[in-house]
Amino acid sequence: MYQEKNYDLLSFMTISEVEVGKHLYWKLGSYSFHGQVFIVSWIVIFVLLALSFIGTRKLERIPSKFQNFMEFILEFLQDIAKNQIGEHEYRVWVPYVSTIFLFILGSNWAGALFPWKLINLPEGELAAPTNDINTTVALSLLTSIAYFYAGLSKNGLGYFLRYIEPTPVLLPINILEDFTKPLSLSFRLFGNVLADELVVSVFTLLVPILIPLPVMILGLFASSIQALIFSTLSAAYIGEALEGHDNH
């Protein structure tokens, strides 16, 4: 019996070490990081910062075309936060919702537009940061921290009374819901981005000239929708936390 338990434990540890695909690892002490995720993430962040700097460097009363475009993006992101969080409390959360949307959109488009596979790495290959489950889980956990902070900052410990509303019988379900929110956010984004890149790769191998172009255009549209869904749900969860139990 003891040997059987040891064998089961060994089998589980072996399965946990199974890895899908190859990765470029960077070592920092005893920790390993996916280098290709950081490389493309830094490129996306640099592009977003550069566009923000250029767009706000010289604001004019009569805006240029580029300033008009930047103002349109800002209004669009403000509307996402306002519609989900509410008119009185949304302004504080515009930076977070905007950052989530722009980073996911930039990451998705980076994977859909650029032929990263042409760049050779010692191991692994460059791709959209959001096709790595570690990135999507990290973004989802940030949203979880955000809506817990929103609820606690407004209602204090009374925020946790929402778990027993409308009846204490729902306590396990309400607690489970807070665990399933980040899981659903992360796996939805990861699955859609990975599936899109796989479809484009397969079509490129089969018919390498014209057929992949419509698929890539469809991928850009789907990538935009995924960024919108993630940021909208994040704002909705924050709005739900702010609408929770009130001590007043």
Q: What is the pTM of this model?
A: 0.80
Tell me the average pLDDT across 217-243.
86
What is the spatial distance between Cα 68 and Cα 58, in angstroms, rounded to a whole number?
Answer: 12
Sequence-separated (6 or more) residues with CB below 8 Å from residue 40: 107, 110, 111, 116, 126, 127, 128, 129
Which two three-digit tokens encode residue 132?
């790595």
pLDDT value at residue 123: 67
Which two three-digit tokens encode residue 126?
């460059």
Looking at residue 126, the DSSP 8-state letter turns out to be -
Alpha helices in 116-211 (DSSP H): 133-155, 171-206
Number of residues written out for the chain: 248
Nearest-10 crossing angle of helices 212-242, 94-113 = 160
Confidence grade of residue 223 (pLDDT, cut at 50, 70, 90) = confident
Domain spans, the chain: 21-242
Confidence grade of residue 78 (pLDDT, cut at 50, 70, 90) = very high
Closest CA to 128 of 186, 77, 193, 84: 193
16-51 per-position pLDDT tens digit: 344 445 666 677 777 777 777 888 889 999 999 998
